[in-house]
């Protein structure tokens, strides 16, 4: 569809798009009333699907099972976790508290050997700063991993609905012959299926599934879609949505370490919070996390999977020979390594000093990342230099890793955001690929790729994230 659209055509599509979103659940609570569903609005989304190289889309999807297995083995390797995170633990209190919980349950003995992982691997196309002048130039692009998320990997449901909307808009615009370029998204059904499978493995048909949620959650409908997906697969599952505080006050462990919440045995705990220090406001919140980890409930993620998602782990995996420690299949190793961007340690040694000097000389070539999830935590451009200058001669710098900056291909599209004008913008996209793995330390029960998420932002914004308000929901048009 040629852009920009004519004004009358644009306004007609925009009006229809907003109403479609509200009637089909592409919704969020409002900033003014974030704890109430009495007033909602549509989540930010793209009017049209955005172009994404077909070859790279399939590459990202195909490597997900390899990454699932890699991080599963990382999570179960105590020596690797300890040696990799020891410097971060010294200087980052949040990682230190997570590590203390991990060490406690490990010494007491892991009560639940089964892990449920719902991962999301985030990628960007990489033009390496080149300008694409012909359609054939798309074949010169690569795809690079931005980060691997092991906790609270959200927006699968809303992304599924946006993909359905884009199929609808193509039909209304007479582009039905192009719909085959819009890949189907099975995120909700596949992820919900993995959660039900874990619940069944727990072995108690009376057990409940706990969604551990934030007290304030604007993105509640993405979580609800997943809950409805669980009921469609198995209507006997009962889901409870509770906060850390509610679990602290209303739960206890039995002598055999079953987690009892409001009189119900808990079979699966699904974390939709707990990924940020801001989620642990009181000591009681940390006590609750430890109580859950001590239990026989299947956790998504458990504490060692949570630690495996640290940025420092991602950086260490980029070193020669490290992936090979966990993956013996040489072709799988090649698939994984083909997506790696340059990542650099900031330890207080010669290697770290060289990385600091490199970033100080040209800060616009790198991103500085702390051990945090949830968006809005990274440093770009001149801020890289400012932070490094501040931590240059202190151990604090070991709490960060340095990553080469990726340059995705820009394009034109329209963002629909509540109370904002709709106009053509230069946009950049980030592709997330979901995966589910269920297994023990030595046995894989399920390992699959489960749908995708495309988040798109205007080219003048560094950070991304739908829940944080900087990105919008999108779906790929394969080119």
3-state secondary structure of 129: coil
Find out whether 375 is annotated in a ligand binding site.
Answer: yes
Structure tokens at 350: 């010669």
Q: Which long-range contacts (CB under 8 A, 24 or more apart) does 180-183 make?
A: 181/54, 181/477, 181/478, 181/479, 182/49, 182/475, 182/476, 182/477, 182/478, 183/57, 183/452, 183/476, 183/478
185 is in an annotated binding site: yes
Query: Is 321 annotated in some ligand binding site?
Result: no
Which own/partner contact pairs does 19-24 have at CB distance under 8 Å and 24+ positions apart?
20/165, 20/168, 21/45, 21/161, 21/165, 21/416, 24/161, 24/164, 24/165
Q: Annotated binding residue at 376?
A: yes
Instruction: Tell whether residue 219 is among the known ligand binding residues.
Output: no
* C-alpha to C-alpha distances, 121 to 66, 153, 249, 414, nearest whole angstrom: 11, 9, 35, 25
d(Cα 306, Cα 191) in Å, to the nearest integer?
18
Sign of CA dihedral 124, 128, 134, 136: negative
CB-based contact 198:268 (threshold 8 Å): yes
Does residue 347 have a known ligand-binding role?
Answer: no
Residue carrying the six token digits 């260490």: 316
* Residue 163 burial (10 A CB sphere; 0-12, 13-18, 19+): buried
- Is 370 annotated in a binding site? The answer is yes
Tokens 């890289």 belong to which residue? 384
Is 171 annotated as belonging to a binding site?
A: no
Query: Is 181 annotated as belonging to a binding site?
Result: no
178 annotated as belonging to a binding site for a ligand = no
| CA distances, 239 to each of 231, 235, 268 (Å) | 9, 10, 9
Establish whether 382 is an annotated binding residue. no
Provide the token pair at 408: 């995705």
SS3 240: strand
Beta strands at 208-212 and 264-271: parallel, antiparallel or unpaired:
parallel
Is residue 218 part of an annotated ligand binding site?
no
CA angle 139–145–146, rounded 5-degree value: 125
396 in a labelled binding site: no
Confirm whether residue 377 is marked as ligand binding: yes
**Distance, CA of 113 to CA of 299 (rounded, Å):** 10
Phi first, then psi, for residue 110 (nearest 5°) are: -65, 125
Long-range contacts of 347-356 (CB under 8 A, 24+ apart): 347/87, 347/398, 348/395, 348/397, 348/398, 352/397, 352/398, 355/402, 356/388, 356/392, 356/397, 356/402
390 labelled ligand-binding = no
| Cα-based distances in Å from 380 to 371, 385, 387 | 16, 9, 10
311 is annotated as contributing to ligand binding: yes
Other beta carbons within 10 Å of 46 = 24
223 carries a ligand binding annotation: yes
Separation between Cα atoms, residue 309 and residue 107, nearest integer Å: 22
430 is in an annotated binding site: yes
* Binding residue ranges for ATP: 311, 369-378, 403-406, 430, 457, 463
* Binding residue ranges for Mg(2+): 185, 373
* Binding residue ranges: 185, 223, 311, 369-378, 403-406, 430, 455, 457, 463
* Binding residue ranges for substrate: 223, 455
């Amino acid at each position: 569809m040629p852009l920009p659209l004519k004004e009358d055509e644009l306004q007609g599509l925009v009006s229809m798009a907003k109403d479609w979103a509200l009637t089909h659940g592409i919704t969020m609570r409002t900033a003014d009333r974030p704890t109430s569903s009495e007033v909602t609005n549509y989540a930010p989304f793209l009017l049209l699907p955005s172009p994404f190289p077909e070859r790279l889309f399939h590459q990202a999807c195909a490597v997900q099972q390899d990454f699932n297995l890699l991080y599963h083995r990382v999570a179960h390797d105590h020596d690797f976790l300890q040696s990799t995170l020891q410097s971060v633990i010294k200087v980052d209190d949040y990682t230190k508290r997570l590590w203390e919980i991990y060490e406690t349950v490990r010494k007491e003995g892991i009560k639940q050997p089964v892990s449920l992982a719902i991962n999301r691997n985030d990628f960007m196309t990489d033009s390496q700063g080149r300008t694409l002048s012909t359609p054939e130039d798309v074949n010169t692009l690569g795809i690079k991993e931005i980060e691997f998320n092991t906790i609270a990997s959200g927006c699968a449901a809303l992304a599924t609905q946006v993909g359905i909307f884009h199929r609808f808009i193509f039909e209304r615009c007479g582009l039905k012959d192009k719909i085959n370029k819009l890949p189907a998204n099975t995120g909700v059904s596949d992820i919900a299926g993995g959660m039900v499978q874990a619940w069944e493995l727990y072995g108690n048909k009376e057990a409940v599934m706990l969604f551990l949620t934030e007290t304030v959650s604007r993105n509640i409908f993405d979580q609800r879609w997943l809950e409805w997906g669980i009921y469609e697969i198995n209507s006997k599952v009962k889901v409870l949505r509770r906060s850390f505080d509610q679990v602290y006050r209303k739960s206890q462990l039995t002598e055999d370490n079953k987690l009892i919440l409001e009189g119900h045995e808990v079979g699966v705990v699904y974390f939709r919070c707990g990924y940020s220090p801001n989620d642990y406001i009181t000591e009681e919140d940390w006590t609750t996390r430890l109580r859950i980890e001590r239990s026989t409930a299947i956790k998504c993620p458990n504490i060692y999977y949570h630690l495996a998602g640290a940025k420092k782990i991602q950086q260490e995996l980029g070193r020669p020979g490290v992936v090979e420690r966990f993956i013996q299949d040489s072709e799988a190793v090649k698939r994984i390594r083909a997506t790696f961007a340059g990542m650099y340690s900031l330890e207080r040694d010669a290697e770290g000093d060289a990385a600091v000097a490199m970033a100080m000389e040209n800060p616009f070539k790198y991103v500085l990342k702390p051990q945090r999830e949830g968006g809005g935590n990274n440093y770009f451009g001149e801020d890289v230099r400012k932070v490094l200058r501040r931590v240059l001669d202190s151990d604090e710098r070991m709490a960060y890793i340095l990553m080469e900056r990726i340059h995705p291909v820009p394009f034109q599209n329209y963002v629909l955001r509540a109370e904002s004008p709709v106009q053509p913008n230069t946009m950049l996209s980030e592709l997330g690929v979901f995966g589910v793995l269920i297994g023990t330390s030595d046995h894989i029960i399920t390992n699959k790729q489960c749908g995708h998420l495309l988040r798109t932002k205007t080219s003048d914004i560094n950070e991304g994230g739908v829940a944080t308000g900087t990105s919008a929901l999108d779906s790929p048009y394969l080119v």
